[in-house]
């Protein structure tokens, strides 16, 4: 039977979410922009989802802009936000997701200056460094993720915002991984924009949102329709948005229970791993997402381990990214000062609602067997 331990990549669709979506894939097919009753039904379903998504992060429903996912929300925040600004410098942390890094690079190509905010060995941005950078540059836009997808490291977003108060620079946070796993308060955090994604919270793929203060001028990245207050043109994917709303509602009502269960499960996993030789855990001394464990087994290639685990029907992730056919060690680990050789051994286990202790036992058993096998093979190859 398959054992899924890769919930930061995506989560299975909750059956309760699927049930809520089904009518909108069937009889309720109206276009939300139509004025007849079918259209109005679809519109009110989207309005309800807007309220549910807003509630998950304590935002106002009027601040929710539905998108196709986290990637689009990040693109809209950076490219759309920059378009309305006079400032010409933006800052992002060194551990951002590619969907923040690539739009930032696009802005550089358009003449913006880019500051990279470094992280410490636990993956944290230092708010004081941001404060220093603000005084030295014409900073307009800052993007720092709420929590990292690889390490799970949680940033002190409110402290970062405090550093920006005088300059008036806009703070965006990619909260795709944090939402549903941690309590998030958009209002209290002071963040100006925040990205969310449905498929990371047991909702369907293809929906996400940018939460944005209404006062922020955003340039739409898709034009040709008045949907989402003209900020995101195109007929809404009603069923997907409805599913996102329901997933957000469930994530909020079950947040504490899930968080406790995941924390308990992860500490069980950690206690078992700590008994093994050669295990190095990353970002182990800071606040992390309750479900995430990023580690390396010294001398064992992470990518190979992932493939061997897959042979045993266990789904995990490695820290490596594939770029132009070559696997590169995680840029997150390199930014944390981890040795590139060790970074190549990284694997990520991200737990979910459906996991139990017996899953951890199975994972550890297979891990022990495989690492014995793989380091023996490695030694044979190394010794010729
Ligand atoms: C931190 C982070 N941001 C953004 C994304 C992209 O979200 P989506 O898959 O909804 O486009 C991901 C997905 O892996 C992520 O982990």
pLDDT tens across the length of the chain (384 residues): 899 999 999 999 999 999 999 999 999 999 999 999 999 999 999 999 999 999 999 999 999 999 999 999 999 999 999 998 987 999 999 999 999 999 999 999 999 999 999 999 999 999 999 998 888 888 999 999 999 999 999 999 999 999 999 888 999 999 999 999 999 999 999 999 999 999 999 999 999 999 999 999 999 999 999 999 999 999 999 999 999 999 999 999 999 999 999 999 999 999 999 999 999 999 999 999 999 999 999 999 999 999 999 999 999 999 777 666 678 899 999 999 999 999 999 999 999 999 999 999 999 999 999 987 776 665 554 555
pLDDT, position 379: 57
330 C-alpha to ligand 1 centroid (Å)? 16
- Phi-psi label, residue 313: left if phi above 0, alpha if psi -120 to 50, beta otherwise: left
pLDDT, position 323: 61
pLDDT, position 150: 97
Query: How far is CA 95 from its chain centroid?
Result: 12
84 C-alpha to ligand 1 centroid (Å)? 25
- The CA distance from 133 to 117, in Å, is 9
Atom of ligand 1 nearest to the CA of 197: 10
pLDDT, position 80: 98
* Of 224, 236, 157, 193, residue with least CA distance to 80: 193
**Whether residue 176 has its Cβ less than 6 Å from ligand 1:** yes
Spatial contact of 103 and 198, defined as CB atoms under 8 Å apart: no
The residue ranges of DSSP E strands in 192-332, in sequence order, are 193-197, 208-212, 279-281, 292-297, 314-315, 317-318, 321-323, 326-328
Instruction: Tell me the three state secondary structure of residue 6.
Output: strand
Please confirm, yes or no, whether 322 is among the known catalytic residues.
yes
Place of tokens 């855990």: 281
Instruction: Give rounded-to-5 percent helix, strand, coil for the chain.
Output: 45, 20, 40
Burial class (CB in 10 A: 0-12, 13-18, 19+), 243: buried
Catalytic entry in 322, 337, 341, 369: 322
- The CA distance from 326 to 328, in Å, is 6
Residue 116 parent element (H or E): strand 113-117
For ligand 1, atom 8: residue with the closest CA: 70
User: Which residues does residue 171 pair with via DSSP β-bridges, in sequence order?
Assistant: 142
CB contact set of 369 (below 8 Å; sequence gap of 6+): none
**Whether residue 177 has its Cβ less than 6 Å from ligand 1:** yes
pLDDT, position 137: 80
pTM, 2 dp = 0.96
pLDDT, position 375: 67
- The CA distance from 384 to 220, in Å, is 59
Tell me how far apart the 2 most distant CA atoms of the chain are, in Å.
75
Token couple for 219: 């340039």
- Phi-psi label, residue 152: left if phi above 0, alpha if psi -120 to 50, beta otherwise: left
């Amino acid at each position: 039977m398959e054992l899924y331990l890769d919930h930061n990549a995506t989560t299975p669709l909750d059956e309760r979410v699927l049930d809520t979506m089904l009518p909108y894939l069937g009889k309720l097919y109206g276009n939300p922009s139509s004025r007849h009753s079918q259209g109005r039904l679809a519109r009110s379903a989207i309005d309800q989802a807007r309220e549910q998504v807003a509630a998950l992060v304590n935002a106002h429903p009027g601040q929710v802009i539905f998108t196709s996912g986290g990637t689009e929300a990040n693109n809209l925040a950076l490219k759309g936000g920059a378009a309305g600004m006079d400032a010409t410098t933006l800052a992002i942390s060194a551990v951002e997701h590619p969907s923040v890094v690539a739009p930032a690079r696009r802005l550089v190509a358009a003449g913006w200056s880019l500051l990279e905010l470094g992280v410490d060995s636990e993956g944290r941005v230092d708010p004081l460094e941001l404060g220093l950078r603000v005084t030295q540059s014409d900073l307009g836009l800052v993007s720092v993720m709420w929590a990292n997808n690889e390490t799970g490291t949680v940033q002190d977003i409110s402290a970062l915002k405090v550093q920006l108060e005088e300059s008036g620079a806009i703070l965006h946070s990619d909260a795709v991984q944090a939402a549903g796993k941690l309590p998030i308060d958009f209002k209290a955090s002071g963040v100006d924009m925040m990205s969310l994604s449905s498929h990371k919270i047991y909702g369907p793929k293809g929906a996400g949102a940018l939460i944005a203060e209404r006062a922020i001028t955003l340039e739409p990245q898709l034009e040709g329709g008045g949907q989402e207050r003209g900020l995101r043109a195109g007929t809404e994917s009603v069923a997907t948005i409805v599913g996102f709303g329901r997933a957000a509602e469930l994530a909020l009502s079950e947040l504490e229970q899930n968080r406790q269960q995941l924390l308990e499960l992860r500490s069980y996993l950690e206690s078992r791993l700590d008994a093994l030789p050669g295990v190095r855990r990353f970002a182990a001394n800071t606040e992390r997402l309750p479900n995430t464990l990023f580690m390396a087994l010294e001398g064992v290639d992470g990518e190979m381990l992932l493939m061997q685990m897959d042979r045993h029907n266990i789904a995990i992730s490695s820290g490596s990214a594939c770029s132009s056919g070559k696997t590169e060690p995680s840029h997150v680990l390199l930014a944390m000062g981890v040795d590139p050789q060790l970074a190549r051994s990284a694997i990520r286990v991200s737990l979910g609602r459906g996991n139990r202790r017996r899953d951890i036992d199975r994972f550890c058993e297979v891990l022990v067997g495989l690492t014995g096998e793989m380091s023996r093979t490695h030694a044979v190859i190394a010794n010729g």
